[in-house]
Structure 1
Amino acid sequence: MCGIVAAVAAKDNNIVPVLLEGLTRLEYRGYDSAGIAVLTTAPGIKVLKTTKRVAALVDLVQQQDTQAHIGIAHTRWATHGKPCEANAHPHTAKNRISIVHNGIIENYAALQQQLINQGYKFASETDTEVIAVSIMFALDSGKNLQQAIQATVMQLQGAYALAIMDNTDPDTIIAVRYGSPLVIGRGKNANYIASDALALQQVAEEFIYLNDGDITIIQAQRIQLFTSDGMSADINHRDILKNTLNYNAVDKGGYQHYMHKEIFEQPGALANTINGTFTVPAISMLQQAQAVKIIACGTSYHAGLVAKYWIEDIARKPCDVEIASEYKYREHIIMPNTLLVLISQSGETADILAALNKAETKQYLGTLAICNVAASSLVRQTNYALLTAAGTEIGVAATKTFTAQLVALLLLTAQLADNNKQKIYDTLQQIPQLISAILQLEPEIAKLALCFSNSVSTLFLGRGMMCPIAMEGALKLKEISYIHAEAYPAGELKHGALALVDKNMPVVVLAPNDKLLAKLYSNIQEVKARGGELFVFTSASSSIKSEPRLNVINLPEFPSILAPIAYTIPMQLLSYHVAVHRNLDVDKPRNLAKSVTVE
């Protein structure tokens, strides 16, 4: 969600271009405003903000010839207060403290009222400004900066990643993490802080991820680390990761959009994920598992629903799938030797981490993360991890990370099934070639997408393992085309959704040639009889043929176990081309963020 970049360098260096480049690399997270604060030689805090894109902030900085050796920058995804310059970060207090923040402060209103009673004033509607003013109050009370920050964070309830500057100490940035991701970047004659290592890939030589409760003091030649109680910690005892990020990840490679590029990267991404392995201790844990609980959000939740079919059908073990934001707030009955699987593309999803924290108080056999980021909080906090090898995904709508999760979950199923393991592994080897063949259908799908351009609503239907893929197709269409879409198990159509069908309602049907096809064909006829426009994705061997108001797209033949992966690809292409036809910002859909780091 919100993006943070901060930098401090030797006095003769200008870090402003680094801050702006970092914000540009964080645009994929989603935002509605952007800003920068630097300490100039005046001395004083210089703050520039915009409610436009980062490119507009770059223009503003250049117009004012802004240069500095220290600064903080931010892209805001609004939580408290509407998107406007007054609410944009950085926020200041008494022209001394400047701050950027990712997270939500749940008790900000009470803290704000206490400060108002003390005579302090506020210029925004945000919870973040309360933090800045609270620090200022502690400074006014005689504390030094570190003491003031510690006193302030002890009062905060919620999640926060903070980067703070003090006008009276123009060579220091203090950063704090609790519940929202933050990483230190070590560079030459400079040090950095960011929400995501991607923001620092062009300047950092090493990365150190902060833990909850950490407070770090960053200077050009020195980094100090303290725990939440103020005790000094040796930073060299933390995991220090070399910068091995792919510098081509933010290059569109000739594609118009990142999403389009990432759809076509799937054959390689899935080939890499197929080669993923479990450690010997992880395999030992999986062999003891008698049941599986999966927790996930959004697209990852749909992957979990597919896994439920695989795990119960193939491994013959009970599997329960739950949305992370709901898991934390109810009581659970846990079967003996239940494996807990947590799925997250970023590994920083706030609801997932909150669910993991609650799960740690329960009697699970162990925890397994399925994640695309090796250094993420989720991977560091679970017992074991199976990493997807999708590479960096910039587009907000998940594409290659979703199909990579499906591959990882099929690998997990193979381990749980044991006796079918080799057969599943052999079948998985077909995926890259299969996906490449399906991608050749793009011109046909792009043409059909024109039929959706003026639609108000769309239905997606499937049966069995195709139900979660129908849900994923509906989500993709909603996310990037802003067309209302709903997914239904096709057999449920008569229980309400059929009332919506008319000549203006496109109905997408996922119809692999399996044991459920005859039942599904009856549902197709029900829609056709009511004048609905049908778009049926089915196997080449299927008996369903195109006719007026029944558009059939044939997919190549493949083993049925791969159907969820195969049928995902046309859903991605369809949603992409509908959004392109509607002239929308495919990579940065309104109101959405790539990594949801607040509950």
Structure 2
Amino acid sequence: MCGIVGYLGNDKHNEYILSGLRLLQNRGYDSVGISCISNGELHTTKFASKTTCDALDQLEETVNLQNIKSNCAIGHTRWATHGGKTDINAHPHHDNKNKIALAHNGIIENFAELKSKLLEKGYLFKSQTDTEIIAVLIGYYMDIGEPIETAIQKTISELIGTWALVILHVDYPNKIWITRNGSPLLLGMEEEFIMVASEQIAFGNYIKKYIVLDNHDLIEITKEARTITYNKNIQRYAIKDKAHQNIETKPANYKHWMLKEIMEQPECIIRAMNNYGRIENNVCVKLGGLDSNKSRLLDIQHLILLGCGTSYHAGLWSLDLFKTLDIFETVVAYDGAEFHVKDIPKKGNSGIIFLSQSGETKDLHRCIQIAKDYDLASMGVVNVVDSMIARETNCGVYLNAGREVGVASTKSFTNQCVVLSMIAIWFSQNRGTCMERRRQMINDLRNLPFHIENIFNHIENLENFVKSFINQHSCFILGKGKNEAIAKEGALKIKEIAYIHAEGFSSSSLKHGPFALIEENLPILILDVDDENREKNRNAYQEILARNAFILRISDTTEGELKIDKNVTFGGIIANIYIQLLSYHLSVKQGYNPDFPKNLAKVVTVE
């Protein structure tokens, strides 16, 4: 869950590295650092974020004051895995002779064993990280006479775990070495310079062509000869075009990215429908990625949905749609971190949908390998184009939500639910099931952007209730049926950015344990947004009312304190917009930054 950027070109390295680091803050913001080579010396500047000071702001101010000219530099933004959030643990790290600078994304599982080996040989360590071991080990092999490329190869042959590495050596001021195993790394090429990055966004609009490194490849980048690979695999790479992006660096007219991303959801939903181009008629959708794999997909008898965090909740929400349309023998959703081979049905053909905003979720990468090993059909539902999951699955449907900066996912969750509903419709139309239910779903889908717009016209109603949640140590959210998943997602948002303990339950679950925690004025939010479970929700309301808790109902009837339009399929999704806004206001009113909650990163690239 770290971000890497490298640059080799003219002497304006700061412009490229700082821009890349700013765009990679979604991968971690505990600390940042830059290393460059200038006048035969290695210069490394790095800072950890503190309560009163953002690390990247401090780094930018410092390196601009230093004004070091270098045509070769690497940068890193960190989410702490091994070692605390301190300046000394920030990347890049050096070898013992301060000749090597190295930045790393991933986890080295055998770092303790390697560290002991190096300590026995007299090598010293300044940090508590697993990354410093890599730099020191390369230095060790060079100390015993190995050339740098051999030293790197021998070092990575000893590593167990995942890594993306960018490496500088002071004796080679016009070269960068890069290699990867399990963690993503891209190489972008222009006439005057080369960039390296963990993901496309870090290239900004500087790069138009790039390649994706394969596992175990070691590439030497030189200013003169451009690129050389030591394992002779360069011809395998497909050069990819990077589309020009209007990359926003500030949230326009909004105070925070999260609020901007909440408010733009109606237009995001329309993009998920490809400006309604994915809606073929009143009962059918057009999904080109699935159409091109139709024969294999229609062999699926058992469907598995995998995601983590918010993406897992989107999968849970969609289960009811897949089951209602009667298109598979079984449909289940798992947290990707907990999925194992034993969860694959023993009989019949299985297929997996992989859900991820970033397309880089490490826990899902492991599951993709399982799908390949067992020859399971795989579909990716991701937001980032040409991300790992997009490349590694058989086919998929992009979310088209646009770049999401806020760590707490909002518009991507909504678009995941929209895309999953279209995938369910696609399977149903191709199997000839439930035409009238499809008609209802497509009608609800068309109305969804307008129903969400109506919420934004009544935001002041929500703000009246925020004070009832502030200073509370806990709260509950209740939903029934598929809206239990919305309750869990809403609770996650409150935990993530407002730091209030929140739990999502079925409306029928209170009497099975959680009732013991209800006390006077405890905030409880009820999702009363579907006729099928109306009476169950009313029963829960009366039971809670009898215990003097504070109750806030989101309803598509006149009974709710917060009202939404009637939408049979997506009522819970509309209600969730209110919860996103509630979470946002709770965070801001307590003085927190909702865009970058403590201890979290948006792109989870470690297990």
Rounded Cα–Cα distance in structure 1 between residues aligned with 2:184 and 2:340? 20
Q: Secondary structure at the match of 2:606?
A: coil
Amino acid at match of 1:278: G
2:192 to 189, 197, 212: 189
Give the match for residue 63 of structure 2: 61
1:432 alignment partner in structure 2:
449
Shift of 1:119: 1.5
Pick the aligned partner of 1:356 from 343, 347, 368: 368
Please name the residue that 2:395 is paired with.
Answer: 384
What is the distance in 1 between the residues matched to 2:575 and 2:238? 40
Q: 1:506 to 1:409 in 2, by over 3 A?
A: same
* 3-state SS, counterpart of residue 322 of structure 1: strand
Asked if 1:247 corresponds to 2:246, the answer is: yes
SS of the counterpart of 2:531? coil
* Superposition deviation, residue 320 in structure 1: 1.0
Q: Determine the structure 2 residue equivalent to 1:8.
A: 8
Overall identity of the aligned pairs, in %: 34
Report if aligned partners of 1:29, 1:396 keep a CA contact under 8 Å in 2.
no
- Give CA-to-partner distance per residue, 1:440-462, whole Å, 9 cap, x none: 23222123222212111110111
2:419 equivalent in structure 1: 408
Q: Which residue type is aligned with residue 30 of structure 1?
A: G
Q: Given the alignment, which residue of 126, 130, 133 partners 1:123? A: 126
Give the corresponding residue for 2:579: 571
Asked if 1:258 corresponds to 2:257, the answer is: yes
Please name the residue that 1:274 is paired with: 273
Superposition pairs of residues 22-61 of structure 1, within 5 angstroms: 22-41=20-39, 43-52=40-49, 53=54, 54-61=56-63
Q: 1:49 is matched by which residue type in structure 2? A: K
CA-to-aligned-CA distance 1:138-172 (integer Å, 9 cap, x gap): 11222211111111111111111111001110001
The structural deviation recorded for 1:211 is 2.2
Q: Distance in 2 between matches of 1:216 and 1:426?
A: 52
1:549 is matched with: none
Q: Which moved more, 1:327-336 or 1:410-419?
A: 327-336
Counterparts of 2:410 and 2:343, CA distance in 1:
33
CA contact (8 A) 1:35 1:88 kept: yes
Q: Which of 296, 300, 316 is the matching residue for 1:305? A: 316
C-alpha separation in 2, matches of 1:463 and 1:165: 56
Q: Is the alpha carbon distance of 1:583 and 1:367 closer, same or farther for their aligned partners in structure 2, counting shifts above 3 Å?
A: same
User: 1:329: Cα distance to partner?
Assistant: 7.3
Distance 1:509 1:108 in 2: 48
Q: C-alpha displacement at 1:287, in angstroms? A: 2.4
Partner of 2:569: 561
Change (3 A) 1:518 1:426: closer
Say how many residue pairs are matched.
Answer: 582
> Alpha-carbon deviation of 1:377?
0.9
* CA deviation vs aligned residue, 1:202-229 (integer Å, no higher than 9, x gap): 3212222222222222233544353xxx
CA offset digits 1:102-155 (Å, max 9, x no partner): 110000000111111111111111000000011111112222111111111111
Three-state SS of the structure 1 residue aligned to 2:508 is helix
Q: Which residue of 2 aligns with 1:548?
A: none
The equivalent of 2:203 in structure 1 is 200
For structure 1, which runs of at least 5 residues remain unmatched after alignment?
Answer: 546-551
Give the 3-state SS of the residue equivalent to 1:154 in structure 2. helix
Unaligned runs of at least 5 residues, structure 2: 279-286
SS at structure 2 position matched to 1:232: coil
1:104 paired residue number: 107
Asked if the contact 2:27/2:603 (under 8 Å) is kept, the reply is yes
The 8 Å contact of residues 328 and 354 in structure 1, kept in 2 or not, is answered as: no
Asked if structure 2 preserves the Cα contact closer than 8 Å seen for 1:368 and 1:383, the reply is yes
Q: CA deviation at 1:17?
A: 2.0
Residues in 2 aligned to 1:389 and 1:413: alpha-carbon distance in whole angstroms: 18
Q: State whether residues 44 and 95 of structure 1, in contact with CA within 8 Å, keep that contact through their aligned partners in structure 2.
A: no
- 8 Å Cα contact 1:463/1:489 also seen in 2: yes
Q: What is the RMSD computed on CA atoms of the aligned residues? A: 1.7
2:205–2:244: 8 Å Cα contact kept in structure 1? no
The answer to whether the 8 A contact 2:344-2:350 is kept is no
Partner residue of 1:538 out of 537, 546, 555: 555
Q: Deviations over 1:291-336 (max 9, x none)?
A: 2011110000000001111101123422011111111475643441
Name 2:88's counterpart in structure 1. 86
What SS class does the counterpart of residue 292 from structure 1 fall into? strand
Q: Distance in 2 between matches of 1:570 and 1:520?
A: 18
Secondary structure of the structure 1 residue equivalent to 2:467: helix
1:194: Cα distance to partner? Answer: 1.0
Q: Is the 8 A contact 1:291 1:335 kept in 2?
A: no
**Aligned-residue offset at 1:281:** 2.7
Cα distance in 2 for residues equivalent to 1:212 and 1:92: 24
Instruction: Specify the code of the residue in structure 1 equivalent to 2:48.
Output: T
In 2, distance between residues paired with 1:433 and 1:225?
A: 54
User: Alpha-carbon deviations, 1:377-401, whole Å to 9, x = none?
Assistant: 1111111111110011000000111
1:233 aligns with 2:233: yes
Relative distance call for 1:223 and 1:337 in structure 2 (3 A) is farther
Q: For residues 443 and 479 of structure 2, what CA distance do their matches in structure 1 show?
A: 27
How far has the Cα of 1:248 moved from its partner? 3.5
Residues 214, 225 of structure 1: 8 Å contact kept: no
Deviation per residue, 1:38-59 (Å, 9 max, x gap)? 1011x11111111132011111
**Distance in 2 separating the partners of 1:493 and 1:331:** 29
Distance 1:188 1:445 in 2: 53
Q: Which amino acid aligns with 1:57?
A: L
Report SS of the residue matched to 2:132: helix
For residue 601 of structure 2, the aligned residue among 583, 590, 593 is 593
Q: Are 1:315 and 1:414, in contact at CA under 8 Å, matched by a contact in 2?
A: no
User: Which whole-Å CA distance do the structure 2 matches of 1:500 and 1:106 have between them?
Assistant: 40
Instruction: Give the partner amino acid of 1:473.
Output: G
Contact 1:30 1:588 in 2 (8 A): no
Distance 1:215 1:532 in 2: 61
- Give 1:439 shift: 2.4
Q: Distance in 1 between matches of 2:36 and 2:227?
A: 21
AA matched with 1:299: T
Letter of the structure 2 residue corresponding to residue 164 of structure 1: I
Equivalent in the alignment of 2:338: 326
Report 1:434-449 matches (<5 A): 434-449=451-466
- Distance 1:239-1:446 versus aligned 2 partners, 3 A rule: farther
| TM-score (ref. length: structure 1) | 0.94
**C-alpha distance 437-221 of structure 1, shift in aligned 2 (>3 A):** farther
Q: Which letter does structure 2 place at the counterpart of 1:596?
A: V
